[in-house]
Structure 1
């Protein structure tokens, strides 16, 4: 039995849960870093006198960076390892937050948001893959859902920081706080984060045997764990392998699902506080509803994990996506009443982040270990194109006179597209394990 099979079939050790916890912390900081702009948008817009379209481009800058990070840093993880990629990405994210706090014009802020996004994109790929690889088969769906919940927790904390810090020290203090927390995360990862087991066994870098045995001891498995015989590396690039006859259909369908769900999620999370403020709520009330969406996202990711540990990952994901479309429309229709907006904000956040959790669970299982980071990264990158498009499209449509209700109805239609893609996604042998 290989170490990979041993992990799949053994109870989760404390060290495995520590790895999941570190992934949660990184995703928490991602939520803080990504949504910091959503919670500071009103003050930034006022300081620089931005139009809705300009604000939309600014919101999309970080998402553009995340897309580039997922597309171009992910293949790097399959060459140098998951751990080095994560350390590099955390440094980039920290520098981006620091630079955002020190800007003097909004074009510079857009640049530093791209840098932040590059780091976050690399972090999401690495943490998603490591969480999947270090979880047992029984607890994999739940562990990934716990990991996904970190984004919502970070967004809630980001909203709390935004309200408190902006009132006392201005919006720049939010980004300084993000820099400090991200720098602290780097120190923690440097001390305790292990390399991917699948990377060590398939790529077999220098000292792979010693590293593998060291990880096995930390997991509570005694004895020696020899490396498998190294096979000849494929001549095709990992990028082309995700389009071979085995993966082509699944790749295209998961890309459609990622694009549609990320488009919807980032429209709701980025624009809702600003739209509600524009509709008559105070800035504090708009941020509060945004926090409720993020809080719901935390609960939804965990709830999804519990359901997916008992039933089909794909079917639960389809149910969450369908309900997201319905509740998004109900949410905006009830937004004139604060307590109803908060209630349905929790629900829409729970369902949409549950969808994200489902995609994170389903995606790594589609691809073999030697191209897993590439496959996951490309899917995330395609999803980020949807995330980039959502704020820009919303800003343009608002400037053209669209009402917020029409925007949310459009989001519901986009989510129905994801439902169709997931319904057509066949669960091959690689996916049945989840």
Structure 2
């Protein structure tokens, strides 16, 4: 794998002001991404009342966004390896912003479902493109922290959505909540158009028209030395970035392990985040107490993302991820056995959210590290997209078991094994990754 000196400089030298501007824009895009996705859940009751929707239709509106995100990850994200990271950010933000605005004019279930599906495509594209850009414009020392910061931004946006949705519904209507998200996304689209450059990784390996001039413009903003010529890249290297590349000898085993880990993690994540309030209510707590527990879990999730990011500046992300996954399993065990202690539940709920969302930040960080730049957008997109099938299926399967007599708390307890399976996949992925990138460390891991 060829590493150009300027890419090595980005990895090793302190971050420039312009690099931090790029990371900040990506963070803000994640904030509006979290808002745009979660706002449907917050305004569901108001939408249901105005459009006379039944429960299945409301659930479909929420699921439409997840399905769109899955399509965005599988179909839109790979364009980042063909058209460029910058273009993918702009296309995704424009799609998301326009569909959010269009949702404000929806007057039927079908119209709103369609706009939510299209918005989901844009949301999924934003997540992958900003993740890849952040990884490629970050110094190695703070790369893990910056990627974790994106996850915290998503949680922050979701929290802001809950607050603003209530204000809009009380003083205006649910339509204003969608309009706010759409306008905010389109404003950031313009900001990204002005400030976000094309990835140097992409320009070095794909070498599109005027690649050298574009690289030197970015280097000048970074206050780094300019280059006189592009590296010689073989035709094979220029054509990389296809789905088939994920199954070459270099990536095959890592790809499978990453997909398994992502699937089980998202399977467990969406179960905990989606079913916790209802299961707690079915176990004897009041509906209000169940909702409050869900809010405590969300609060812990923001803290978990930031903490994981800080830990990556001192420890290897693969090791942190394994510990966090096992801590989620342990926390679920404690959680299930402490539901009778109402005073302790908020604390354990925050801890659960802390480790759970820390795992989400960690898996996205790992997925961006596993693949080299020429196939990174495709690899991250497919891992995320296929993992979301776990998120889509988990609530349905949980509902099936509950309908067939499994007690809510027992089902909750069984899910701790899902996170143990994800941890095993990460352990295997760790050894595979370092066997290719750090053979000396790989020998130590194998002995341990």
TM above 0.5: yes
Residue in structure 2 matched with residue 90 of structure 1 by the alignment: 93
Which residue of structure 1 lines up, in the alignment, with residue 80 of structure 2?
Answer: 77
**Mean Cα deviation higher: 123-132 or 180-189:** 180-189
Q: CA RMSD in A?
A: 2.7
Residue 343 (structure 1) aligned with residue 347 (structure 2): yes
Match for residue 428 of structure 1 among 423, 431, 434: 434
**Does 1:158 pair with 2:161?**
yes
> How does 1:354-433 map onto structure 2 within 5 Å?
354-398=358-402, 403-425=407-429, 426=431, 427-428=433-434
**Normalising by the residue count of structure 1, what TM-score does the alignment of the two structures yield?**
0.90
- Note closer, same or farther for the CA distance 1:321–1:56 as it changes in structure 2 (3 Å cut): farther
Distance 1:205 1:338, change over 3 A: farther
Q: Which residue of 2 aligns with 1:301?
A: 305
| Larger RCO, structures 1/2 (Cα 8 Å, 6+ apart) | 1
- Which of 246, 252, 263 is the aligned partner of 1:248? 252
Aligned partners of 1:353, 1:173: CA distance in 2, in Å? 29
Deviations 1:77-115 (A, max 9, x none): 111101111111011112332333333343433322211
In 2, Cα distance between the equivalents of 1:392 and 1:77? 32
User: 2:198 aligned to 184, 195, 198, which one?
Assistant: 195
Which is further off, 324-333 or 336-345?
A: 336-345
Q: Which residue, 46, 63, 68 being the options, matches 2:66?
A: 63
Name the structure 2 match of 1:138. Answer: 141
Q: Does 1:258 align with 2:262?
A: yes
Q: 2:212 aligns with which of 204, 209, 213?
A: 209
Q: Which runs of 5+ in 2 are unaligned?
A: 442-448
- List per-residue Cα deviations over 1:163-215 (Å, max 9, x = no partner): 33333334343222211221221121111111111111111111111110110
Matched, 1:227 2:230: yes
Worse overlay, 25-34 or 327-336: 327-336
Alignment partner of 2:43: what SS?
helix
1:178 aligns with 2:184: no
Structure 1 match to 2:37: 34
Q: TM-score, normalised by structure 2?
A: 0.87
> 1:298-337 to 2 correspondence within 5 Å?
298-331=302-335
Report the Cα distance in structure 1 between the residues aligned to 2:186 and 2:277, rounded to whole angstroms.
28
1:134 deviates by 0.7
Say if 1:260 and 1:56 are closer, same or farther in 2 by CA, change over 3 A.
farther
Once residues 398 and 281 of structure 2 are traced to their aligned partners in structure 1, the CA distance between those partners, rounded to angstroms, is: 15
CA contact (8 A) 2:268 2:419 kept: yes
Partner residue, 2:25: 22
> Shift in Å at residue 281 of structure 1?
4.4
Structure 1 counterpart of 2:127: 124
Q: Which ranges of structure 1 fall in alignment gaps of 5 or more residues?
A: none
Aligned counterparts of 2:337 and 2:416: Cα–Cα separation in 1:
13
1:108 is aligned to 2:114? no
CA distance in 1, matches of 2:180, 2:125: 21
* In 2, Cα distance between equivalents of 1:168 and 1:338: 34
- Compared with structure 1, are the counterparts of its residues 74 and 136 closer, same or farther at alpha carbon in structure 2 (3 Å cutoff)? same
Larger Rg over CA atoms: 2
